[in-house]
């Protein structure tokens, strides 16, 4: 089962709006994880699921007087917990309908699930298990965790084709959650060497200029969408059937 998701990250509103307008025209269901408020979320179309994409990863360890390795203390843990609670609460206020979340850089720690549930998130996709056959979600208390199967960044890093669907284990059973990014889609990048160019183009207002004329990340997205639409409009992250959840006691 293929599930299409998009992270907005630092992309400007113009790029986000342009990409999601193209996605809407395809008529396929997509879960979009927003890092910042967007006009798209004010009047979402019926095939859009709104998720949140906060950055919880920027932490600085305490330096040790003797020059030793930094070690977190209970006070540090409490400070992290309070900071994360504040960030998640702000996202809950900004995106009141969101029930799905993916942290920036797939950031995770063992206490985070409790904080997510407390702030109304019940579906998390903050991990990646590339190209694993038979992939399933699993429960952590009241939270369901859905591992990402592939991303546009990984696709480019592995130099996989962009003009056809040729991915390891694509035809095997299990979940195939894809993670795309607005910046890659908007400029249809074709290699990782274009990554810094993408950020420069979006920052200086040249966001409408495609990087390459040949096959790129948007072409890959279109091909996956066409594959999904052969059978149905697709599914959101929150609509993945329970048979794709590992059976057994909550972890």
- Give CA–CA dist 130/150, Å, rounded: 5
Residue 217 lies in a domain: yes
Residue 250 lies in a domain: no
Q: Is residue 141 part of a domain?
A: yes
**What pLDDT does residue 143 have?**
96
63 located within any domain: no
Closest CA to 179 of 103, 97, 90: 103
Question: Is pLDDT of 36 > 90?
Answer: yes
Let me know if residue 64 belongs to a domain: no
Q: What is the CATH number of the domain that holds 234?
A: 3.20.20.370
pLDDT at 77: 79
Is 37 part of a structural domain of the chain?
Answer: yes
Give the mean model confidence (pLDDT) for residues 111-138: 96
User: 79 or 200: whose pLDDT is higher?
Assistant: 79
Q: Taking the model in full, what pTM does it have?
A: 0.90
Looking at the domain assignment, is residue 228 inside a domain? yes
Give the span between the Cα atoms of 13 and 38, in whole angstroms.
7
Q: Is the pLDDT of residue 198 over 80?
A: no
Q: What is the DSSP letter of 63?
A: P
Question: What's the total number of domains in the chain?
Answer: 1
Segments forming the whole domain that contains residue 24: 2-58+78-244
């Amino acid at each position: 089962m293929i599930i299409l998701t998009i992270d907005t990250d630092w992309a400007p509103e113009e790029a986000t709006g342009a990409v999601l307008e193209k996605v809407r025209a395809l008529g396929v269901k997509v879960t979009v994880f927003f890092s910042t408020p967007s006009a798209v979320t004010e009047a979402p179309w019926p095939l859009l699921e709104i998720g949140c994409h906060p950055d919880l990863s920027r932490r600085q360890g305490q330096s040790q007087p003797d020059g030793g390795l930094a070690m977190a203390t209970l006070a540090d843990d409490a400070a992290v917990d309070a900071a994360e609670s504040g960030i998640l609460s702000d996202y809950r206020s900004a995106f009141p309908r969101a029930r799905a979340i993916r942290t920036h850089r797939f950031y995770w720690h063992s206490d985070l699930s409790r904080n997510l549930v407390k702030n109304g998130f019940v579906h998390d996709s903050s991990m990646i298990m590339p190209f694993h056959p038979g992939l399933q979600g699993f429960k952590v208390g009241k939270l369901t965790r859905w591992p990402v199967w592939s991303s546009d960044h990984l696709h480019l890093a592995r130099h996989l084709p962009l003009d056809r669907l040729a991915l390891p284990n694509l035809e095997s059973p299990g979940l195939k959650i894809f993670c795309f990014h607005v910046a890659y889609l908007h400029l249809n990048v074709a290699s990782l060497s274009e990554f810094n160019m993408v950020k420069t183009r979006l920052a200086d207002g040249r966001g409408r200029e495609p990087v390459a004329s040949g096959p790129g990340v948007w072409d890959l997205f279109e091909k996956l969408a066409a594959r999904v639409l052969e059978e149905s409009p697709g599914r959101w992250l929150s609509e993945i059937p329970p048979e794709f959840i590992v059976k057994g006691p909550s972890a």
